[in-house]
Amino acid sequence: QVQVAESGGGSVQSGGSLRLTCVVSGYTTDNICVGWLRQAPGDDTEGVAAIKRDGYTTYTDSVKGRFTISRDSVNDTVYLQMNSLQPEDTAIYYCATDPRGDMCTFLLHVGAGFRHLGQGIQVTVSP
């Protein structure tokens, strides 16, 4: 059974940093995509960043240069380091995983379709 567990998040002022952590377990394949999605109040879910086991990463344009996704394959943990946070980054952030690694870029672009989601974690950035 696949399990996805997020931690981190919280509240910071504009320009601050946070790190989100996602621990993934239960997959029997190596070709998985792990991504971060976010949903602000009243908005659709948006793909933020994703990473494959081979190290391939992809980001949405609004976070390039500010956010970094990385993984610790030994511990099946994925991190999202968020720097220079802005109020528009305020949202619930979800760790999302999918066994179809070849669809990683597409899944992030549409911000949906991942097979498994975590419960979500709040990130609040004040002006």
pLDDT of residue 106: 94
As a whole number of angstroms, the longest Cα–Cα distance in the chain is 43
Per-residue pLDDT tens digits for 33-63: 999 999 999 999 999 999 998 899 999 999 9
pLDDT of residue 65: 97
How far apart (Å, rounded) are the C-alpha atoms in residues 10 and 95?
15
Q: Is the pLDDT of residue 77 over 90?
A: yes
How far apart (Å, rounded) are the C-alpha atoms in residues 15 and 42?
24
Q: Which residues contact 121 (CB under 8 A, 6 or more apart)?
A: 6, 7, 8, 9, 20, 92, 93, 94
Give the sheet arrangement for strand 77-82, strand by strand: 3-8, 18-25, 77-82, 67-72
